[in-house]
Amino acid sequence: MVYVHKLTKRYGSLVAVENLSFQLEKGEVLGFLGPNGAGKTTTMRIITGYMPPTKGTVHIEGLDIIDYPLQAKKLIGYLPENPPLYNDMSVSEYLNFVADVKQVSAKEKRSSIFNVMEQCGLTDVRKRIIGHLSKGYRQRVGIAQALVNNPSVLILDEPTIGLDPKQIIEIRELIKNLSGERTVILSTHILPEVTMICSKVVIINQGKIVLEESLQSISQEIEDTQNLFLRVSRPEDGAEEKIMSIRDVRGVRKGAAGEYVIEPRPGKEIREELSLLVVESGWGILELRPLANTLEEIFLRVISSEGN
């Protein structure tokens, strides 16, 4: 469980994070979104105890990170924006060091290192020097490092940055598998990632929360406000008016020749009537598909409306 209450962080006169509060139950995966410089990294650094907040409290499994730093830090696995790697060590030496530093008991150390190397696909490179590894492998070592103490709270700052598409999919799978027993906070720029992995979304902008919702209700909203894309081979003047005349159509925009974007009323189905109209009018239907109204649009909407 992670409990963040009225977190504020100021650097001199600059306010990085202001009055940030949220709470995560065990097993929840939080997608932590926001434009660059919104305060994501600062918030994560405060939660992990790397830096103290100016005001506010953070509890990790009920332990205050300021009052009981050593106990609370034992429960956290943290992958910073730049993976904290020693380039002169081999992968297994490094994981051994991290396990020692995080005070993993001697009994569990071997099996825990073995497990994270398996999970992160590092077994084959365990003897290689970290400085010689590719960016993707370095990122995996970074994730392995965060997991080695079997943390109950996992905090990942842009875990899939710099990876190729195949690795991104692997890492996402890994994070998905890791959740369950753990509470995960994940910051990212890649919004589809959130839809795939997370159960909850917090969007922050200029240090403040602008949206906090479960992914379920966001998906509902996405589905409800889905636009349609229509392309026909013989467009006709006045086609827009005809389309508008269908019940439950809220708006029509004309794109390139023969292309239309149609906005239905929320939650209403108009595809059947629309296709009938096109066929009856003899326009020659080429394409009719839902336009993906994604998290991206919601993100841009809340970010820009906050800006105004």
Partner 1 sequence: MKSIYPILKRELRSYFASPLAYIILVVFQVISARFFFLYLQGFLQFQFDPSYQLQIGELNINNLVILPYFGTISIVLLLIVPLITMRLIADEKRNYTAELLFTSPLRIRTIVFGKYIAALVLLIIMLLLSSINIFVLMVHGNPDFGAVISGYIGLFLLGASFLSVGIFASSLTENQLIAAVISFGVLLLLWLVGALSDAESTILGYLSVINHYEDFGKGIIKVKDIVYYLSLIFLGLFLTYTSLESERWR
Number of residues that bind partner 1 (CB under 8 A): 31
Distance (Å, whole) CA 100 – CA 95: 9
Q: Which residues pair with 277 in a beta bridge?
A: none
- Binding pattern for the stretch 70-109 against partner 1, x by CB under 8 A and - elsewhere: xx-xx-x-x-x-xxxxxxxx---x---xx-xxxx------
Min CB(143)–partner 1 separation in Å:
13
Min CB(296)–partner 1 separation in Å:
30
* Closer residue to partner 1 (CB): 145 or 167: 145
State which of residues 42, 43, 112, 145 lies at the interface with partner 1 (CB under 8 A).
145
Q: Under the criterion CB under 8 A, does residue 52 sit at the interface with partner 1? A: yes
Min CB(138)–partner 1 separation in Å:
11
Given 3-state DSSP classes, what are the helix, strand and coil percentages for the chain, each rounded to the nearest 5? 40, 30, 35
- Classify residue 63 as exposed, middle or buried by CB count within 10 Å of its CB (0-12, 13-18, 19+): middle
Min CB(200)–partner 1 separation in Å:
23
- The conformation of residue 123, written as its DSSP 8-state character, comes to G
The angle, 0 to 180 degrees and rounded to 10, between the axes of the packed helices 165-178 and 106-119 is: 140
Please choose, out of 66-74, 184-192, 244-252, 259-267, the segment that lies near partner 1 by the rule CB under 8 A.
66-74
* Closer residue to partner 1 (CB): 76 or 204: 76
Distance (Å, whole) CA 247 – CA 233: 24
Residues 163 and 141: beta-carbon distance below 8 Å: no
Distance (Å, whole) CA 161 – CA 253: 36
Q: Which residues bind partner 1 (CB under 8 A)?
A: 11, 45, 48-52, 69-71, 73-74, 76, 78, 80, 82-89, 93, 97-98, 100-103, 145
